[in-house]
Structure 1
Amino acid sequence: MKSDKVKQNKYKLIDLFAGAGGLTLGFTDGRFSGEFECIFGVDNDPAAVLTHNENFGDHSICTNIEDWLDSEPNIPRADIVVGGPPCQGFSLLNKNREGDQRRALWEPFMDVVELSGASAFVIENVQGLLKSPEFSDIEKKAIELGFLVKAKVLNSADYGVPQTRKRTIIIGCKPANVESILDFPPSKTHSATPESDGLLPWKTVYDAISDLPDPEGTSIRRCDPPLDIHFGRSPTAISLERYKAVPPGGNRFDLQKNAPHITPQCWIKKKSGGTDLFGRLWWDRPSVTIRTEFFKPEKGRYLHPDKNRPITHREAARLMGFPDDFKFMGSKIQIARQIGNAVPPPLGGAIASYMADLLSKHKKKAA
Structure 2
Amino acid sequence: MAKRISMIDLFAGCGGMTSGFVAANGYKPVMAVEWDLHAAATYAANFGESHMRWGDIQDIKDDEIPAADVIIGGPPCQGFSNLGTRDVNDPRNKLWKEYIRFVRHARPKVFVIENVDRFLKSSEFSLLQAEVRHGGLLEGYELTYGLLLAADYGAPQRRKRTIVIGSRIGKIPLPEPTHGQGNPMGLKSWRTVHDAFKGKQLLDVPTVKALPDSSVSFFGEKVPGIYKSEDLHIGRTPTDVSLLRYAHVPPGGGRFDLPEELLPNCWKNKPSGTTDVMGRMRWDEPSLTIRTEFYKPEKGQYLHPQWEPGPNGYRVDRPITHREAALLQTFPDTYLWCGTKIQIAKQIGNAVPAVLAEAIARQIKPYILSA
SS state of the match for residue 162, structure 1? coil
Cα distance in 2 for residues equivalent to 1:191 and 1:63: 40
Deviation at 1:224, TM superposition (A): 8.4
SS state of the match for residue 330, structure 2? coil
The residue number in structure 1 matching 2:161 is 167
Deviations 1:116-153 (A, max 9, x none): 12111000000101122211211222343210111010
Deviation at 1:226, TM superposition (A): 4.1
The residue number in structure 2 matching 1:52 is 43
Q: Give yes or no for the alignment of 1:66 onto 2:58.
A: yes
Cα distance in 1 for residues equivalent to 2:227 and 2:322: 14
Q: Which amino acid aligns with 2:300?
A: G
Q: CA RMSD in A?
A: 1.7
Q: Give yes or no for the alignment of 1:243 onto 2:250.
A: no
Deviation at 1:248, TM superposition (A): 2.5
* Number of residue pairs the alignment of both structures matches: 342
Cα distance in 1 for residues equivalent to 2:127 and 2:39: 29
Cα distance in 1 for residues equivalent to 2:43 and 2:85: 31
Q: Give yes or no for the alignment of 1:343 onto 2:342.
A: no
The residue number in structure 1 matching 2:338 is 329
Deviation at 1:227, TM superposition (A): 2.2
Cα distance in 1 for residues equivalent to 2:227 and 2:162: 35
Q: Which amino acid aligns with 2:293?
A: E
Cα distance in 2 for residues equivalent to 1:221 and 1:34: 33
> Is this contact kept in 2: 1:124–1:167, CA < 8 A?
yes
Deviation at 1:206, TM superposition (A): 0.6
The residue number in structure 2 matching 1:14 is 8
The residue number in structure 2 matching 1:154 is 148
Deviation at 1:350, TM superposition (A): 0.4
The residue number in structure 2 matching 1:101 is 91
The residue number in structure 2 matching 1:4 is none
The residue number in structure 1 matching 2:22 is 28
- Identity in percent: 46
Higher-strand-fraction structure = 2
The residue number in structure 2 matching 1:3 is none
- For 1:308-323, what aligned pairs fall within 5 Å after superposition? 308-323=317-332
Deviation at 1:57, TM superposition (A): 1.0
Cα distance in 2 for residues equivalent to 1:73 and 1:341: 30
Cα distance in 2 for residues equivalent to 1:266 and 1:88: 25
The residue number in structure 2 matching 1:234 is 237
> Is this contact kept in 1: 2:165–2:174, CA < 8 A?
no
> Is this contact kept in 1: 2:227–2:337, CA < 8 A?
no
Q: Give yes or no for the alignment of 1:120 onto 2:110.
A: yes
Unmatched 5+ stretches in structure 1: 1-6
Q: Give yes or no for the alignment of 1:353 onto 2:356.
A: no
Deviation at 1:96, TM superposition (A): 4.2
TM-score, length-scaled by structure 2: 0.88
Cα distance in 2 for residues equivalent to 1:334 and 1:226: 15
The residue number in structure 2 matching 1:274 is 274
> Is this contact kept in 2: 1:162–1:319, CA < 8 A?
yes
Deviations 1:246-291 (A, max 9, x none): 1222100101xx3x22211000110110000000001110000000
> Is this contact kept in 1: 2:78–2:86, CA < 8 A?
no
Cα distance in 1 for residues equivalent to 2:255 and 2:210: 28
Q: Which amino acid aligns with 1:237?
A: D
Q: Give yes or no for the alignment of 1:205 onto 2:193.
A: yes
SS state of the match for residue 302, structure 1? strand
Q: Which amino acid aligns with 2:252?
A: G
Cα distance in 1 for residues equivalent to 2:18 and 2:130: 26
> Is this contact kept in 1: 2:227–2:338, CA < 8 A?
no
